[in-house]
Amino acid sequence: MDVFFQALWGGTVVGVTYAVLALGFTLIFGVLGVLQFSHPQIFVAGGFVGYAVQTLVGGGLPVVLPATMIACAAIGLLVERVAIRPLKQSSFLAPAIATIAAGIAIQNIVIVVRGPDPVSFPPLVPPADLQVGGVTLRSAEICALVVGVLVMAGLHLLIHSTRFGQAIRATADRPDVARSFGIDTRLVSVTTMALASALAGVAAVLLASVYGTLSPFMDTSLGFKGLVIMVVAGLASVSGSMLCGVALGVLETLLSQYVSPAYRDVFVWALLLVVLVARPTGIFGRRVVTKV
Amino acid sequence: MDYYEYLVALAAVNGLIAISYQHVLSSGIMQACQAALVGVGAYASAFATRDWDWPFLPSLLLAAAVTVALGVPLSVLASRLGEFFFAIATLGFAQVLVVVLYNSEQAGGAVGFVGQPTATTAPAALTFCGAALALLAVLQNSGYGHRSRGTAADPLACSALGIDVNRHRVVVFALGSALAGLAGGLYAHLVGVLVPGELGFAATVTLLVMVVLGGITTPFGTLLGAVVITLLPEVLSASDSVRLLIYAVVVLVLMIVRPRGLVGRRPLRAPAIEAVPAAASAVDRPAGRLEVSGIAKAFGGLQVLRDVGVVLTPGEIHGVIGPNGAGKTTFLNIVSGLETPDAGTVVLDGVPATTAPPHARARLGIARTFQHTRLFPELTCYENLLVAAAAPGRSGPVRTPWASRRDAARRAVAMLHRFGLAAVGDVPAAALPYGVQRRVEIARALVTRPRFLLLDEPSAGIPEEEIPALAALVRELADDGIGILMIEHNIPLVRQLCDSLSVINDGIVVTTGNVEECLSHPATVAAYLGVPEVSGA
């Protein structure tokens, strides 16, 4: 039983970081209407910014986390300005392709600066273990869980209980109507982009400190997971993304523990397919009725 | 094979892969596993030549066959899942394949598959790529191509024109898979080592870049995109990451400069054919009856229709009026097959059609327009009509593709002339004024040679001064023998046009029959003005 609970714990922690990453995807897709393919590379860049800040300046989580968020927000704004804004009007695929290119650029800047090899990520909180029953909770994991949950709760409050959140939801729903009510949708878009990119930075710092390692090639598998979480949760459902992120983390860990680490992904995808066929609008998505 | 010959062959193979993907994407199928399909073909043919000593060419056929066998079941999912989920499901399929190959010893696992002969020469790759390009270029301007563009732009409008959208997509997917498998076979015998990672998401993303950068609307554009993306990293001499950095910047800049791709499809121009006399447009079918009765429909707890019916005979214009929310459009949707009723029947010439899908009904001779026009916005007026002409109609003589293409063009041009649209035939539909768009939509519906035409508020959004022309047109269609069911709010127009009328309120027909009697009926007045009914009425 201890093995099960250990896996459950580890999966939850990792799942929370997935959820934070996926939330960024979801927010950008919801508000800007763009598949931001360079989001995972912003995650990678964020991880390396965090690594650089900690090794060069130090200060642990209270310094590294805000610094990373600011850096990622800045990268996100640049991507919005260069790859998304000029192309938003032309077609659905054009900005997506441009963000793919931006992602390749970001990743290779990281590689040019730091090299292609994985680095070991320094601990951001003093290493310590807490034993609960037979389960070991590492301080990095506890910290990731707490920070991740706080960030998500804060985001939930921001979106559902503030005027700005109302503007975000209005813009996501009907940008033209939102504009006619005096909402500066461009400002909302830009702010959302900065916010969502900062979330990628949070996810990067948390996940890297849990794993204790960081590679410039983490982008592909994480990008995948973010995309899958977004879709399974129902496009543009924020609370759904949170739950699905955690569910995916737990599921992955339990499958590698009990079934087969090699075929873990096959099961995750089989499950995904079952969900999609059974609920074609995602688990938490609203049913879209096409009127004719 | 020297380096340059290798590069030429690689560009040709990548070109073939990219146009196979373009073929699928430009039909509106958001599929994200083209690289995986290529990989299936690659591994299949490599196994055939290495382990079973097959010659090279048969191994390519095997590759295509295996890929089609895998792709077709996958494509059936598309109709079930809708665009986004289908994209994700195919992404998952690709990922599963990568995992399976990684863990397979026979396939070489992570190290890769080696040992197959390097049989793909540059001339062979160029030949296959050229042949595929020629095939797709011909298809692009055929009825098949029109159906593809139509389904990509508006599947619902297509099914109302008689196109079986799901079936068409399966066929497109099958052809796209066959080309992908073939390309995979060529690739396997060109590069010498196959690695599972090349099947995954990243590879499909690269293909997507080729397609969109080059131009998604035509295989020629895509081919150019593939050549650029293949050769760009090769001509840059720098370290890997600097090279990729430059590559990314070039793609970004090209995208911003040409957001619609390097090369776009040139629209088909309406040929200068003399206006054909009425014979081409008149109804060529015997008289029949469209009988709809007892229709009930609820959306959740909202009972929209309780008991609505109508009988339509050839040459008759039957009006349907009623206050907003009375259920008129829902009724029309049920008659045209877009929605299934909870109760009631739709019978055409004595044959039940209640459960027939929209495309089947269109083929039986029921055409419709929409309350908000559903033209294919980026296609020209003429091309909008060509999509309708490309829908498989009711039985007709078997003709060569050339003859039927000529016939389609003739039907479309005749309809342009008849509706006074000849001057705007080559203008994209979205650029036309709304009143003209409405006329185009009626013309498009008529190209399918319907016996019954359902019009949903034909005068809505049309300038006052264009209404008489519209009325004359509808009258003329009825005189040709078409039975017309017309939802309309413009009462003077109803008075002028309709032979009979039904008034719907609250999900039931409150009165039907003679137009004037219906209009002055107390229940009609009550429905519109909310006058309390006299007790006992």
CB contact under 8 A, A224 and B242: no
* Longest alpha-carbon distance in chain B: 97
For residue A148, being part of any structural domain is answered with yes
Smallest CA-to-CA distance from A63 within A205, A192, A212 is with: A205
- Our CA dihedral for B384, B387, B389, B395, rounded to 10 degrees, sits at -150
Spell out which residues of chain B touch residue A104, defining contact as CB-CB under 8 Å.
Answer: 244-245, 247-248, 251
What is the C-alpha to C-alpha distance for residues B64 and B89, in angstroms, rounded to an integer? 22
According to the model, what pLDDT value does residue B187 have? Answer: 95
For residue B62, being part of any structural domain is answered with yes
Q: What is the predicted ipTM?
A: 0.83
Same domain, B29 and B121: yes
User: The tokens 């504009």 sit on which residue?
Assistant: A179
Spell out which residues of chain A touch residue B216, defining contact as CB-CB under 8 Å.
Answer: 93
Question: Cβ(B197)–Cβ(B75) under 8 Å?
Answer: no
Query: What is the secondary structure of B421-474 as a DSSP string?
Result: -GGGTTSBGGGS-HHHHHHHHHHHHHHT--SEEEEESTTTT--GGGHHHHHHHH
For residue A286, being part of any structural domain is answered with no
Same domain, B298 and B416: no
Residue length, chain A? 292
CB contact under 8 A, A105 and B100: no
- Is beta strand B317-321 parallel, antiparallel or unpaired with respect to B500-505? parallel
- Domain CATH code at residue B461: 3.40.50.300
**Residue A186: partners with Cβ closer than 8 Å, 6 or more residues away:** none
What is the C-alpha to C-alpha distance for residues A101 and B301, in angstroms, rounded to an integer? 49
For residue B267, being part of any structural domain is answered with no
**Residue A163: partners with Cβ closer than 8 Å, 6 or more residues away:** none
Domain termination site, one of B145, B170, B199 = B199
A102: contact with B, CB 8 A cutoff: yes
In three-state form (DSSP H/G/I as H, E/B as E, the rest C), the secondary structure along B127-178 is HHHHHHHHHHHHHHCCHHHHHHHHHHHCHHHHHHCCCCHHHHHHHHHHHHHH
DSSP letter at B113 equals B
Give Cα separations from A20 to A141, A160, A239 (angstroms): 15, 17, 11
Same domain, B442 and B454: no
Return the number of other C-beta atoms located less than 10 Å from residue A291's C-beta: 7
Smallest CA-to-CA distance from B352 within B438, B436, B414, B293 is with: B293
**Number of domain units in chain A:** 1
Question: Containing H/E element for A75?
Answer: helix A61-79
pLDDT tens series, chain B, 537 aa:
788 899 999 999 999 999 999 999 999 888 889 999 999 999 999 999 999 999 999 999 999 999 999 999 988 887 777 777 788 788 888 888 888 888 888 888 888 898 888 888 999 999 999 999 999 999 998 889 999 999 999 999 999 999 999 999 999 999 999 999 999 999 999 998 898 888 877 788 889 889 988 989 999 999 999 999 888 888 777 677 887 888 888 888 888 888 888 888 888 888 876 655 544 444 455 568 899 999 999 988 888 899 899 999 999 999 999 888 888 889 999 999 999 999 999 998 888 888 899 999 998 889 999 988 999 999 999 999 999 998 876 555 566 777 778 888 888 999 999 888 989 989 999 999 988 999 999 999 999 989 999 999 998 888 888 899 889 999 999 999 999 999 998 999 999 999 999 999 888 898 998 888 888 888 888 888 876 655 544
Pick the residue from chain B with its C-alpha nearest to A263.
B99
What is the C-alpha to C-alpha distance for residues B509 and B214, in angstroms, rounded to an integer? 56
CB contact under 8 A, A276 and B201: no
**Number of domain units in chain B:** 3
Same domain, B516 and B409: no
According to the model, what pLDDT value does residue B531 have? Answer: 65
Query: What is the secondary structure of B191-218 as a DSSP string?
Result: HS-B-GGGGSHHHHHHHHHHHHHH-TT-
Domain termination site, one of B416, B449, B482 = B449
- Domain CATH code at residue A191: 1.10.3470
Same domain, B417 and B501: no
Q: What's the token pair of residue B500?
A: 């009979």
A162: contact with B, CB 8 A cutoff: no
Same domain, B419 and B460: no
According to the model, what pLDDT value does residue A111 have? Answer: 93
For residue B249, being part of any structural domain is answered with no
Question: To the nearest whole angstrom, how far is the Cα of A105 from the nearest Cα of chain B?
Answer: 5
Pick the residue from chain A with its C-alpha nearest to B246.
A105
For residue A290, being part of any structural domain is answered with no
The amino acid present at B149, given as its one-letter code, is: R
For residue A284, being part of any structural domain is answered with no
Same domain, B441 and B454: no
CB contact under 8 A, B92 and A228: yes
CB contact under 8 A, A277 and B80: yes
What is the C-alpha to C-alpha distance for residues B26 and B149, in angstroms, rounded to an integer? 7
Give Cα separations from A45 to A197, B279, B336 (angstroms): 11, 69, 54
Smallest CA-to-CA distance from B509 within B329, B316, B328 is with: B328
**Residue B292: partners with Cβ closer than 8 Å, 6 or more residues away:** B308, B309, B310, B311, B312, B334, B335, B344, B345, B346, B347
- Rounded average pLDDT per 10-residue block, chain A, 292 residues: 87 93 90 90 96 93 95 97 88 86 93 92 90 89 94 90 90 87 91 96 95 90 83 71 86 84 77 73 53 52
For residue B535, being part of any structural domain is answered with no
For residue B388, being part of any structural domain is answered with yes
Domain termination site, one of B199, B223, B245 = B199
Same domain, B393 and B354: no
For residue A35, being part of any structural domain is answered with yes
Same domain, B357 and B397: no
What is the C-alpha to C-alpha distance for residues B443 and B450, in angstroms, rounded to an integer? 11
- Our CA dihedral for A161, A167, A172, A174, rounded to 10 degrees, sits at 130
For residue A292, being part of any structural domain is answered with no
Domain with B385 in it: 374-449
For residue A288, being part of any structural domain is answered with no
Provide the whole-model pTM: 0.87
According to the model, what pLDDT value does residue B530 have? Answer: 76
For residue A285, being part of any structural domain is answered with no
Same domain, B439 and B461: no
Question: To the nearest whole angstrom, how far is the Cα of A56 from the nearest Cα of chain B?
Answer: 24
Determine which of A87, A100, A235 to mutate to test the interface with B (most B C-beta atoms within 10 Å).
Answer: A100
What are the two backbone dihedrals, phi and then psi, of residue A129, each rounded to the nearest 5 degrees? -120, 140
Residues 172-191 of A with CB under 8 A from B: none
Same domain, B292 and B397: no
Same domain, B514 and B419: no
